[in-house]
Amino acid sequence: QVQLVESGGGLVQPGGSLRLSCAASGSGFRIDDMGWYRQTPGKERELVAGITRGGRTNYADSVAGRFTVSRDNDKNTMHLQMNSLKPEDTAVYYCNARGVWQGWRSFDSWGQGTQVTFSS
């Protein structure tokens, strides 16, 4: 179908920065909406930042002003620039994409996740 791969997670100090990337691959697909989600043990998966094909964005209140989501439709990539990171940002971050495959079939794909953790 459509595969998503996240990268860029790692160990970071509070107040530091990370840039997450999501790359979509497959054939004959068009992505409409994309988003970054995160999840920690005991908590529901939550939307961090969403972006439409036209570039409209929305952010969770907890990250607004610190995180910036962007996408390149030609490259089928999405990024999440995370600044001023806090311990509560620790989570597994997932990429999600919804769209059309082979011109007519809808898809809803998730990546495998990338870890964001803190040294202390």
Q: What is the mean pLDDT of the chain?
A: 96
Count the neighbouring beta carbons within 10 Å of the beta carbon of residue 25: 10
Q: How far is CA 41 from CA 20, 90, 109, 119, in A?
A: 21, 11, 22, 18
**What percentage of the chain exceeds 70 in pLDDT?**
100
Both tokens of 105, joined, read 């079939």
Tell me the pLDDT tens digit for each residue of 62-84. Answer: 999 999 999 999 999 999 999 99
Angle CA 49–31–110, to nearest 5: 60
Mean pLDDT of 11-33: 96
- Residue 119 or residue 75, greater confidence: 75
**d(C-alpha 8, C-alpha 22), whole Å:** 9
